[in-house]
Amino acid sequence: MRTAFIETLLELAIEDSRIVLMVGDLGFGVVTDFMKKLPNQFLNAGVAEQNMVGLAAGMALSGKIVFTYSIANFTVLRPLEQIRNDVCYHNANVRIAPIGCGMAYGSLGPSHHATEDIAIMRALPNLLVLAPGDPVETRLAVRALIAHEGPAYLRLGRAGEPIVHDSEPKFEFGKAITVRPGADVTLISTGGMLYDTLQVAKELSGKGIQARVISMHTVKPIDEEVLLAAARETCAIFTIEEHSVIGGLGGAVAEVLMEADQRPKCFKRIGLSGGFSSVVGSQEYLKKTYGLDALGILATVSRCLGIQGSAKGL
Amino acid sequence: MKSEIALEELAHRLRVHSVRMTHSARASHVGSSLSTVELLAVLYRKILRIDPDHPQWAQRDRFVLSKGHGCAAYYAVLAEAGFFPVDWLETFYQDGSKLPGHATHTYVPGVEVSTGSLGHGLSMATGMALAGNRDHANYRVFCMLSDGECDEGSTWEPILFAPQHKLDNLVVVVDYNKIQALGTTKEVMDLDPFADKWRAFGWTVEEIDGHNIPEIEKCLGSVPFETGHPSCVIAHTVKGKGVSFMENSLLWHYRIPQGEEYVAALDELGEKP
């Protein structure tokens, strides 16, 4: 996702001088090309993220489209009030683009795990909240963000996530992508959990269960239509996110279904339980520990459906 | 300005508006407005290149009131400058009003950005200055800080940033009235040697009497003080200036002018309720 983000942004910025990339003294080796090619559209704001977001708002109010980029919590939680007051309240064309969301920086420890960001960003007025599912969706999201009026949050994972989409799907903010059809159960994923979710669907298929897989790349505004159809047409809905189960994708989906009186027979939020990681390890290791790898997800889904949870292909 | 009244008269009007507005709104922060009126009068009459008929004119000078709580005088100067009708001022704080108790852009022509949480305005102003600098635009950005908000670490981030980027189109005016919410700046968080701190960060600094109109005009008329450096004006002011019993009084950071005190305040300003 990181590569897709920075390459796409550079392509767009070469054509559009309004685009500015602002970093908080992070991105060694990642932003170098952008910095060299477009120095007038690049800014290292230093290790000062509150100022970075305020600067971004000021530049956006002067006609720029500003992407702020840093490791997740540094550009989300540290300057939260600047995001709310300076960016969202002014409806400024700032795109908060944190890298390393979820537990991408696994071994670096909980200070670097961004596992509450969707919940917090989702609560902010005017803010579009995006979590693309793979590098292809990332490219499409960055392109679409140039024409978008108002602030946005672009949740990025790391470099090297597998590509899920063979070709570019139709991409529109607020319209989820159905990656795999299925009439029995629905698996809704946001962000980089998409690949694992598809693996789970394939396993379920081997057990005679056809799982619909939805990439919810826009968590706010959420695609209510696709959720209500899933609740009507399938008997179970699972939300899958590398994020706390409190207030994230699962919460957003539950809100829609409850208010529409469309509770499926089975509904389960699969994510982190809301604590800090108590073990040290890579993203892969932590996902496995907390049941967020494909096997863990399959086990939870199987338990809920009352079927045998073993896997052939995983 | 709609009519060319004297600067002293304009400052006086802003003072009277501030007292009347905080009275009818039952609002705090009258002292925080009264210390700024001469600065605002000079800025809006003599310094800022603005067009009240076209508040969003692209080449306008920007003014950011970072001390958003001192907005009574700010709304008053905008109204007197012709950005919106003066009778709006009577609606300050009222249900259904366009004028809330901290500077708000939503419905108010001329308010560049909304503030109210301290330590935000200078970063936004600096972003505007940086955009102008990179676009080779001629506009300048003025930002008024309170002394209290210089306690905020986030205020010092742009103070460190602006000289690095040689933003000589950025001018800070500090309303140094030396009283913050729970005591004097000396008692709470001593800023002195204040000018030296700014200089050490790379700003060019002038210290003035923030109530002396010719001095303010001369100083703000000469920015940038040095090419390639942002300018800082430390305006020594008196909280509650112009009403004897409000001057230098912590109480009048909060106290609402009511009853006999309201009448006495207006009387000192030569006005009747």
| Least confident interval from A115-124, A181-190, A266-275, B74-83 | A266-275
**Other Cβ atoms closer than 10 A to B264:** 15
Q: Which residues of B touch A63 (CB under 8 A)?
A: 131, 135
Question: Does the B7-268 domain belong in CATH 3.40.50.300?
Answer: no
Instruction: Quick: pLDDT tens for B192-204.
Output: 999 999 999 999 9
Percent of all residues in chain B with a pLDDT value above 70, rounded to a whole number: 99
CATH of domain A2-154: 3.40.50.970
pLDDT of A262: 87
Q: Which helix (H) or strand (E) holds B232?
A: strand B231-236
Strands A42-44 and A65-71, bridge-based pairing: unpaired
Residue ranges of the domains in chain B?
7-268
Whole-number Cα distances in Å, A298 to A29, A261, B28, B62: 37, 27, 59, 57
- Contact flag A50-B113 (C-beta cutoff 8 Å): no
CA distance B126 to chain A (A): 6
| Cβ-based contacts of B138 with chain A (< 8 Å) | none
What is the pTM assigned to this prediction? 0.96
Evaluate whether B113 touches B79 at the Cβ level (below 8 Å). no
Rounded to an integer, the average pLDDT of A162-187 is: 97
Least confident residue range of A136-145, A156-165, A228-237:
A156-165
How far lies B86's CA from each of B60, B65, B89, in Å?
A: 22, 19, 6
Min distance B118 CA to chain A CA atoms (Å): 11
Q: Do B161 and A89 touch (CB under 8 A)?
A: no
Under the banding of pLDDT at 50, 70 and 90, the label for residue A274 is confident
Burial (CB count <10 Å: 0-12, 13-18, 19+), residue B26: exposed
The predicted structure's pLDDT at residue A308 = 75
Of A274 and A34, which is predicted with more confidence? A34
Phi, psi at residue A179, to the nearest 5°? -85, -25
What does the mean pLDDT of chain B come to? 96
What is the Cα–Cα distance from B135 to A162, expressed in whole angstroms? Answer: 40
CB of B169 within 8 Å of any CB in chain A?
A: no
- Chain B residues whose CB is inside 8 A of the A18 CB are none
* Gap between the terminal Cα atoms of chain B: 25
Return the percentage of chain A with pLDDT > 90, whole number.
92
Subunit contact A58:B130, Cβ cutoff 8 A:
yes
Q: What is the dihedral of CA B25, B28, B34, B36, to 10 degrees?
A: -110
Percent of chain A with pLDDT over 70: 98
SS (H, E, C) B168-211: CCEEEEEEECCEECCEEHHHHCCCCCHHHHHHHHCCEEEEEECC
Model confidence pLDDT, tens digit, residues A12-60: 999 999 999 999 999 989 999 999 999 999 999 999 999 999 999 999 9
Q: Please state, in angstroms and rounded to a whole number, the distance separating the CA atoms of residues B84 and B102.
A: 17
pLDDT at B253: 86
Q: A17 to chain B: nearest residue by CA? A: B135
| Mutation target among B62, B108, B124, B155 for the A interface, most CBs of A within 10 A | B124
β-strand pairing of A236-244 with A218-220: unpaired
Say if A2-154 and A177-305 have the same CATH topology: yes
Cβ–Cβ < 8 Å for A155, A131: yes
For A266, the token pair is 């089975």
CB B34 within 8 A of CB B74: no
For residue A64 the two structure tokens come to 């720029």
The owner of tokens 């679409």 is A144
Residues 6+ positions from B273 with CB-CB distance below 8 Å: B262, B263, B266
Residue B1 pLDDT > 70, yes or no?
A: no
For B23-42, how does the pLDDT look when each residue is reduced to its tens digit (9 = 90+)? 999 999 999 999 999 999 99
Residue B4 has pLDDT above 80, yes or no: no
For residue B250, give the DSSP letter: T
- Minimum-distance CB partner of B161 among A46, A60, A90: A46
pLDDT of residue A21: 98
Q: CB–CB of B154 and A57 under 8 A?
A: no
Residue B120 and residue A54: Cβ atoms within 8 Å? yes
Name the residue ranges covered by the structural domains of chain A: 2-154, 177-305
Q: Would you mind telling me the total number of residues written for chain A in this entry?
A: 314
Q: In this complex, do A86 and B161 lie within 8 Å of one another by their Cβ atoms?
A: no
Pairing of strands A236-244, A185-189: parallel
- Is 70 exceeded by the pLDDT of residue A64? yes
Percent helix, strand, coil in chain B (nearest 5)?
45, 10, 45
- Placement of tokens 């970072």 in the chain: B66
**Which of B114, B123, B134 lies at the smallest CB-CB distance from A51?**
B123
DSSP B74-102: HHHHHHHHTSS-GGGGGGTT-TT-S--SS
Which of A53, A38, A67 has its CA nearest to residue A146?
A67
pLDDT in tens, B77-110: 999 999 999 999 999 999 999 999 999 999 999 9
B160 touches chain A (CB under 8 A): yes
- CA A11, distance to chain mean position in Å, is 22
Q: Which two tokens stand for residue B190?
A: 């001593």
Q: Which of A48, A60, A89 sits opposite B161 (nearest CB)?
A: A48
Nearest CA in chain A to B59: A62
Q: CA–CA separation, A239 vs A219, rounded Å?
A: 12
Q: Per the CB < 8 Å rule, is B127 touching A61?
A: yes
Cross-strand partners of A21: A42, A67
Asked whether the bond before A221 is cis by omega within 30 degrees of 0, the reply is: yes
CA dihedral A118, A121, A127, A129 (to 10 degrees): -10
CA dihedral A89, A215, A116, A26 (to 10 degrees): -80
Chain A contact set for B105 (CB, 8 A): 90
Amino acid at the residue B69: H
- What mean pLDDT is reported for chain A? 96
Measured between beta carbons, which residues in chain B are less than 8 angstroms from residue A46? 157, 160-161, 164
State whether residue A173 sits within 8 Å of chain B by CB. Answer: no
Q: Three-class SS string for chain A?
A: CHHHHHHHHHHHHHHCCCEEEEECCCCCCCCHHHHHHCHHHEEECCCCHHHHHHHHHHHHCCCCEEEEEEEHHHHHCCCHHHHHHHHHCCCCCEEEEEECCECCCHHHCHHHCECCHHHHHHCCCCCEEECCCCHHHHHHHHHHHHHCCCCEEECCCCCCCCCCCCCCCCCECCECEEEECCCCEEEEECHHHHHHHHHHHHHHHHCCCCEEEEECCEEECCCHHHHHHHHHHCCEEEEEEEEECCCCHHHHHHHHHHHCCCCCCEEEEEEECCCCCCCCCCHHHHHHHCCCCHHHHHHHHHHHHCCCCCCCCC
Answer whether B123's CB lies under 8 Å from B158's CB: yes
A201 in B contact zone (CB under 8 Å):
no
| Chain B environment of A64 (Cβ under 8 Å) | 131
Contacts of A255 (CB under 8 A, 6+ apart): none
Tokens of A21: 């990339």
Q: What pLDDT was estimated at residue A313?
A: 64
Q: Which residues of A touch B128 (CB under 8 A)?
A: 58-59, 61-62
CA dist B88 and B98 (Å) reads: 8
Q: Distances in Å between the alpha carbon of B16 and those of A139, B90, B98, B273?
A: 57, 12, 20, 10
> Is the predicted pLDDT of residue B2 greater than 60, yes or no?
no
In three-state secondary structure terms, B104 is coil
What CATH number does the domain located at A177-305 have?
A: 3.40.50.920
Q: State residue B122's pLDDT score.
A: 98
